[in-house]
Amino acid sequence: MPSNKSVSDAPIVQFTNCRILRDHQLQREDLWVREGKILNPEKLFFDEKGSADVQLDCKDSIIAPGFIDVQINGGFGVDFSLATDDFKSGIDLVSQKILSHGVTSFCPTLVTSPPSVYHQVLPQISVRNGGAHGAGVLGAHLEGPFISKEKKGAHPEHCLRTFEAGAFQDLLATYGSLDCVQIVTLAPEMRRSSEVIRELTKRGICVSLGHSVANLSQAEEAVQHGATFITHLFNAMLPFHHRDPGIVGLLTSDKIPAGRRVFYGMISDGIHTNPAALRIAHRAHPKGLVLVTDAIAGMGLAPGRHTLGQQVVEIDGLNTYIAGTKTLSGSVATMDTCVRHFQEATGCSVETALEAASLHPAQLLGIEHKKGTLNYDSDADFLMLNDSLYVQATYIAGEEVWRQDVSGM
- Asked if the structure places residue 40 within a domain, the reply is yes
Element (H, E) at 93: helix 87-97
Q: What percent of the chain has pLDDT over 90?
A: 91
> Strands of 304-308's sheet, edge to edge?
304-308, 311-316, 319-322
Q: Identify the pLDDT of residue 157.
A: 96
Dihedral of alpha carbons 92, 127, 122, 120, sign: positive
Band of pLDDT at residue 130, cut at 50, 70 and 90: very high
pLDDT greater than 50 at residue 1:
no
Answer yes or no: do 275 and 348 share one domain: yes
Answer yes or no: do 257 and 179 share one domain: yes
Over range 359-364, report the average pLDDT.
98
Over residues 202-225, the pLDDT tens digits come to 999 999 999 999 999 999 999 999
Q: Which domain holds residue 198?
A: 66-365
- Cα distance between residue 45 and residue 62, in whole Å: 25
Is 241 annotated for ligand binding? no
Task: Say how many domains are in the chain.
Answer: 2
Is 329 annotated for ligand binding? yes
- Asked if the structure places residue 160 within a domain, the reply is yes
Answer yes or no: do 102 and 183 share one domain: yes
Answer yes or no: do 151 and 276 share one domain: yes
Answer yes or no: do 290 and 223 share one domain: yes
Would you call 294 a catalytic residue per the annotation?
Answer: yes
Strand 136-137 with 263-266, pairing: unpaired
Answer yes or no: do 310 and 267 share one domain: yes
- Asked if the structure places residue 168 within a domain, the reply is yes
What CATH number has the domain bearing residue 269?
A: 3.20.20.140
Answer yes or no: do 127 and 144 share one domain: yes
- Asked if the structure places residue 1 within a domain, the reply is no
pTM, two decimals, is 0.96
Q: Identify the pLDDT of residue 407.
A: 59
Answer yes or no: do 60 and 70 share one domain: no
Is 330 annotated for ligand binding? yes
- Asked if the structure places residue 7 within a domain, the reply is no
Over residues 320-356, the pLDDT tens digits come to 999 999 999 999 999 999 999 999 999 999 999 999 9
- Asked if the structure places residue 249 within a domain, the reply is yes
What CATH number has the domain bearing residue 390?
A: 2.30.40.10
Is 215 annotated for ligand binding? no
Is 19 annotated for ligand binding? no
- Asked if the structure places residue 3 within a domain, the reply is no
Over residues 30-73, the pLDDT tens digits come to 999 999 999 999 988 888 777 899 999 999 999 999 999 999 99
Over residues 282-303, the pLDDT tens digits come to 999 999 999 999 999 999 998 9
| Average pLDDT taken over every residue of the chain | 95
Is 235 annotated for ligand binding? yes
- Asked if the structure places residue 409 within a domain, the reply is no
Is 232 annotated for ligand binding? yes
Q: Identify the pLDDT of residue 194.
A: 97
Answer yes or no: do 215 and 359 share one domain: yes
Answer yes or no: do 356 and 318 share one domain: yes
Answer yes or no: do 360 and 215 share one domain: yes
Strand 25-27 with 12-22, pairing: antiparallel
Answer yes or no: do 380 and 283 share one domain: no
Nearest CA among 215, 149, 203, 216 for reference residue 171: 203
Point out the catalytic residue in the list 69, 269, 294, 379.
294
